[in-house]
Amino acid sequence: MATNSTLRFEVSGYSADDVPVKLIHRCGFCGWSRDAGSEVMIAPHCGACGCMLESTPEDAIRTAGARPAFAVTRASRLAKPLALLVVATLLVAAGRAGYTTGGITSAVVATALMAFLLLPFARRS
């Protein structure tokens, strides 16, 4: 004859709702961060670059590092002039291609389109 028996488990310590977790809202693009009380974000955009923020536990930031791996910590003296030279070359090339194709109007449109495509690479100083 089979009898019904019930298993009892006792759990001691913290439950998932009792453990305090310190959160940080962090930008994965530029590394900007702010302290947070919850994962929910009223203003989900970065204060420095405008990208979307991610909610991360503070412990994960400490172990992984505060800045993303692709962030440049120190640029050389030639980085800014070389970047400006590349941008100027691309803008002139787009303008010349537009002028060759359809005159001054196409040159203005091609240059504006190239400037628009280069916007994600612009940085605020």
Q: E strands of the chain, at which residues?
A: 23-27, 33-36, 53-57
Tell me if 70 is assigned to some domain: no
Residue where a domain terminates, one of 15, 36, 64? 64
Q: Are residues 56 and 84 in the same domain?
A: no
User: Kindly report the CA angle at 55 between 49 and 61, in degrees rounded to 5?
Assistant: 90
Tell me if 8 is assigned to some domain: no
Count: domains in the chain: 2
Mean pLDDT of 47-55: 79
> What is the average pLDDT value for the chain, to the nearest integer?
76
Q: Find the length of the chain.
A: 125
52, 41 in Cβ contact below 8 A? no
Cα 49 from chain centroid (whole Å): 8
Decide which of 93 and 71 is more confident.
Answer: 93
Global pTM reads 0.42
* pLDDT in the model for residue 125: 54
Q: List the alpha helices (DSSP H) in 1-125.
A: 58-64, 79-102, 104-118
Tokens (6 digits) for 117: 């495509």
Write out the residue range of the structural domain in which residue 100 sits. Answer: 79-121
Tell me if 29 is assigned to some domain: yes
Tell me if 2 is assigned to some domain: no
Tell me if 10 is assigned to some domain: no
In sequence order, the 6+-apart residues with CB closer than 8 A to the CB of 113 are 94
Residue 57: pLDDT over 80: no
Cα 102 from chain centroid (whole Å): 38
Tell me if 28 is assigned to some domain: yes
Burial 21-59 (b: 16+ CB within 10 A, else e): eebbbbbebbbbbeebeeeeeeeeebeeeeeebeebeee
Chain segment 64-83, per-residue pLDDT in tens: 555 555 555 556 777 888 88
Tell me if 16 is assigned to some domain: no
Tell me if 6 is assigned to some domain: no
